[in-house]
Amino acid sequence: MQINRPASASAEVPRGLAGVVVTDTALGDVRGLEGFYHYRQYSAVDLAEACGFEDVWHLMVHGELPDAAQRAAFAAHTAELRRLPDEIRVTLPAVAAASGPSGPLAGLRSALSLLGAVKGFRPVYDIDADQRRADAVAAAAAVPTLLTALYRLGQGLEPVEPRTDLGYAANYLYMLTGSQPASDQVRAIEQYLISTIDHGFNASTFTARVIASTGADVAAALVGAVGALSGPLHGGAPSRALDTLDEIGSRDRIDQWIRNHVLAGERIMGFGHPVYRTEDPRSRMLRNIAQQIGGPLVEFAVEVEQRVEAILAELKPGRELHTNVEFYAGVVMELCGLPREMFTPTFAAARVVGWSANILEQAQDSKIIRPAAHYVGPPPPVAVPAIA
């Protein structure tokens, strides 16, 4: 892949590499000024509204939406891959116990490493495209099983075995709760999962690609991505956004709470995005899903959203702040009965498909990602002091 690079290693770049183009991709893009993002050539929101999860997974991995026969074959294949090897199943109780309050996402890092070892994943540098794809699909298919098992073990419950007769989203909810989920809950979670499969070169996706560029195996790249997602500035916000609604508490407290936070310069969780300068299209879609379910929580969330935008316009004219995906994602997951400690792991259950697709794409390029840093310490050489 040929990209434009700075003329020298000391060239000025924005903090956090914001807006810096590092490679070419055929997987999709985020057009923040337009409030639009897509997977390959399709609007991601349109896909979430019209397709099933397996359809979009097939699109990301194989480059095209499946026909009816391909859909059935892909769904059956990935469903068979949900069951964990015995070597993993017997180690999960210890992984869950060691993870403690850090929860399933921390345990997933260890579990993915074990999975890669047990399944014999080899460096992507040493295997062909078909084997890379097989490894990526196998790992992604196992992630919901790992996450739900780790959660249940942490709660003192037995893991629930995956079912091959349920779709990705339905099976995820079934393994999490142990009971057959309602169809409206399944569809709401499925649309959330589809909407979060990929989103440009976010921190976890970039991490996965950096590791893949070294030629490491698929599991190693996914472990790095999970580590990046665990940071509260990336994947930890859905439950925090819901905590904001809890903290406000009632309608009569909304305006004063917002004013206090805006005037203090404090961040309001669930609002703002580093890329979008308009409304986050994922938030718009999830708001619609939440309103279809309805209830006091939805009404309260919508009122908070409206008042944040109105008060910000009053106190900080010209500064736009809109809800991001986390705000209504938290509302939707709460309405569907997911425990808050599983909000970010559920995000991971979707994003693993995007990570996998990016790993496969990066593995086609033999150039390692190796940027430079601008040294700002004392000028060398400095004499090494004698050690007494």
User: Active site includes 326?
Assistant: yes
Nearest to 206 by CA among 5, 36, 17: 17
Distance CA 269, CA 254 (A): 14
In eight-state DSSP terms, residue 38 is: E
Nearest to 308 by CA among 295, 319, 298: 319
Q: Which of 54, 190, 305, 326 is flagged as catalytic?
A: 326
Residues 6 or more apart in contact with residue 27 via CB below 8 angstroms: 39, 40, 60, 198, 354, 357, 358, 361
What one-letter code names the amino acid at 323?
A: T
Residue-wise over 107-143: b if at least 16 C-beta within 10 A, else e? bbbbbbbbbbeebebbebeebeeeebbbbbbbbbbbb
Inter-residue contact 142 to 115 (CB < 8 Å): yes
User: Active site includes 234?
Assistant: no
In eight-state DSSP terms, residue 323 is: B
- Identify the H or E element spanning 37: strand 36-39
Q: Give the number of other CB atoms < 10 A from CB of residue 295.
A: 13
Burial group, residue 13, by CB count within 10 angstroms (0-12, 13-18, 19+): middle
Q: Which of 273, 322, 334, 361 is flagged as catalytic?
A: 273
Catalytic (active-site) positions? 273, 326
